[in-house]
Structure 1
């Protein structure tokens, strides 16, 4: 059974909020009222949790920026960035400057959303015992998800050198309500950031068996090369029975679909979808900036439905993915298909068959794509299925780094495949150290 993110993701908060609103309709934003009253009641905490989700949904966070940054950094002419925004062009060309306004916005908006989650976690004593677990689980998930993207983008990848010595991002785990010298944090190590991410996600699972947290945990463990834990987390999501593969590949990219584990909700009244902005043509309300090239299209087998999930404009001279055609469509973050791919890869690497054989999982993905089953597998074949299934969903640079691949002739460990710490932050916080090469 599908558990829609619109109803599930706020199960411990929105229903409570809705019930309370009948009595308190005039709710001031928590950032504009006195600290002593901002989080005085359970409703206040729920309002702040909704605000944390809203921060997470920003176009500079999971509303687009995390995803297109991962794609453009990992691209080797499978797409062309044909837009006029130099900020994204720098990402595509791997010539990012510390003053890049987009990477600065991503950093700032990410920490703003983390701060909202921290505010929720600081006021759990105001939440009833019955609701405390789900509220805490969701706040921890939000914080962990954003830190995971930050450490993957602004720091060296896990396993690229000494994780305990490589600089990650600053861990801020308490609310920042006024800025003093104590609030300027140095960068924690990559190992410390990952440890915090895993701690948050593990507790989110323990507290509420929160599916997005378990699915993200599978992705985190895969990034670390912890194949047994990645396999087991992915298997828990699959075995839960809460989600199922859509029989039609196209339906995996419509709202409220059966395989969506976590999506950023966008409506014509709230939210924005920057994946549509940059990946969709003008015919689909986008800018048409990211154009798919023949090099990518040639990767698909002749009968692969995914290889036909594109549209063209300008008399067929420009090609675009059809994953983000809906301007008000939800932005996919975690899909069940990825859980099958993680389980298949981890089982293959380990020589195990937990949940299913790697061959069965890969053939399930291939069958949905309209392809004949294969009789045998290689790691390269599994990674190719992953690349084609998750194309344009933000995983490209991270998969290249974890498998120690290349972007063209650029090695995975190159300095220009790591974002610079924003210059504004370097100038303000003297404890921050810039990444090599910038």
Structure 2
């Protein structure tokens, strides 16, 4: 069980990662805290703190799986079933969350820990070596903007459901929390204010980040995230343009075989496929893939697979695929239950964005707008269909484009948010039901009386 700490705890980001230089490794006074001038006193200190930002981002309760499976379980249109025993997951699957739900608490807590680490980096940019400063700022702002986007989507009404300017979003903490005072106990900013901050951070990140950056965020990762933000807002022109920028960069290519997109450790030595734009890296030494934990299961004749086998794929989902669709064959039924092969690899990297999503976003946006930026919607959809082993279609509709998106990106964390932006009911539940919004954790409200609870929760 993780230690119970809150958003307003003193959590100096560098605390777990930094030590100050000294003449002797033994010449250290025992302390319970590090003065910020000592913790962030050199460019190297800030660089190490940035690594701490990524470490927090890959946490299982952040981008290591929780944001994704929360979306899939809440957005489940009777296509998957949860067969596990964890109460927190059962509540999400049944859309009957309580204010004490552990997943809701840990996603909130660990996301704000990551944000606080980013704030520490951003507060110390003046001491960063000049040639590294833009990249470091860009990475920190990419992480912070991405987290605020996913927090506001999960803990607040979706964009366009009522008045964005008055609907409560999440608190915007934009400076380091080091010594807790009453001033640090913030109210929830509006949905509109959170989205404005998200766009400010991500657009800044796009302008600051390099085109290549090993396993870390690039300008194209920022563009991919921006395309999601604009799509959630139904800003189809900008969603199209950001997706097109990623495609036109030539940095990424569609894998020739759909199956080769996954099993990144077992079949690809831990390296990301050419289609991946950004992913959480998992190795034998670091990182955990919680999509594997819940979607995965042990397949005896595939060494390196594993998982609890809690999330099973139902016939309703499998019936959506056309005959011959390779995506419809990417399942295994080792006993009585069927599992997706996307998350069987114990040490598989946790995908965040891949190129196929950009083609699907561009196709949808172009179709809605009647434009042909980059390619026709028909050409983009047929590109995805061809890779799936399907014949080219002669025409597309909005419904057919959305279906291709649903099948191609199934179980990758987009189910809830796509349903909400398209105002589609989820099973028998209206897209804007309070049951499809996470509660503000009760522990946070107990600490901070300025936080108001979401509708439908006591």
- Using structure 1 for the length normalisation, give the TM-score: 0.92
Which residue does the alignment assign to 2:167? 166
Deviation at 1:208, TM superposition (A): 2.3
Deviation at 1:325, TM superposition (A): 1.3
Which residue does the alignment assign to 2:5? none
2:429 maps to which of 410, 413, 422 = 410
Which residue does the alignment assign to 1:9? none
1:34-49 pair list within 5 angstroms: 34-49=35-50
Which residue does the alignment assign to 2:438? 419
SS in 2 for 1:139: helix
Which residue does the alignment assign to 1:216? 225
Alignment of 1:282 with 2:298, yes or no, is yes
Contact 2:331 / 2:340 at 8 angstroms: preserved in 1?
yes
Deviation at 1:33, TM superposition (A): 2.3
Alignment of 1:239 with 2:248, yes or no, is yes
Q: How many residues align?
A: 415
Alignment of 1:294 with 2:310, yes or no, is no
1:329 maps to which of 332, 338, 348 = 348
SS in 2 for 1:334: strand
SS in 2 for 1:411: coil
Distance 2:137 2:69 in 1: 29
Deviation at 1:76, TM superposition (A): 2.4
Which residue does the alignment assign to 2:268? none
SS in 2 for 1:313: coil
Which residue does the alignment assign to 1:120? 121
- Change beyond 3 A, Cα 1:282–1:32: farther
- Using structure 2 for the length normalisation, give the TM-score: 0.88
SS in 2 for 1:333: strand
1:394 maps to which of 398, 413, 419 = 413
Q: Deviations over 1:203-239 (max 9, x none)?
A: 1111125111111001100000000000000011111
Distance 2:69 2:33 in 1: 32
Distance 2:41 2:182 in 1: 27
- Change beyond 3 A, Cα 1:63–1:31: farther
Q: Deviations over 1:67-111 (max 9, x none)?
A: 000000011221110001010111110000000011101100000
Deviation at 1:25, TM superposition (A): 9.6
1:272 maps to which of 270, 288, 306 = 288
Alignment of 1:355 with 2:374, yes or no, is yes
Distance 2:32 2:400 in 1: 50
Contact 1:115 / 1:176 at 8 angstroms: preserved in 2?
yes
Which residue does the alignment assign to 2:157? 156
Distance 1:332 1:25 in 2: 39
Unmatched 5+ stretches in structure 1: 1-16
Which residue does the alignment assign to 2:101? 100
Distance 1:337 1:82 in 2: 30
1:310 maps to which of 321, 331, 353 = 331
Distance 1:397 1:246 in 2: 26
Contact 1:134 / 1:208 at 8 angstroms: preserved in 2?
yes
Which residue does the alignment assign to 1:144? 145
Contact 1:281 / 1:313 at 8 angstroms: preserved in 2?
no
Deviation at 1:32, TM superposition (A): 4.7
Distance 1:163 1:268 in 2: 44
SS in 1 for 2:332: strand
Alignment of 1:187 with 2:208, yes or no, is no
Moved over 4 A (4+): 23-26
Distance 1:413 1:156 in 2: 7
Q: Give the alignment's Cα RMSD to 1 decimal.
A: 1.9
Alignment of 1:369 with 2:366, yes or no, is no
Distance 1:300 1:79 in 2: 15
Distance 1:386 1:87 in 2: 29
Which residue does the alignment assign to 2:239? 230
SS in 1 for 2:338: strand
Contact 2:326 / 2:388 at 8 angstroms: preserved in 1?
yes
SS in 1 for 2:63: coil
Deviation at 1:34, TM superposition (A): 2.0
SS in 1 for 2:342: coil
Deviation at 1:31, TM superposition (A): 9.6
Distance 1:150 1:93 in 2: 21
Which residue does the alignment assign to 1:258? 274
Deviation at 1:313, TM superposition (A): 1.9
Deviation at 1:171, TM superposition (A): 0.3
Contact 2:298 / 2:344 at 8 angstroms: preserved in 1?
no
Distance 1:258 1:194 in 2: 30
Which residue does the alignment assign to 2:53? 52
Distance 1:31 1:47 in 2: 20
Contact 1:245 / 1:336 at 8 angstroms: preserved in 2?
yes
Distance 1:146 1:206 in 2: 19
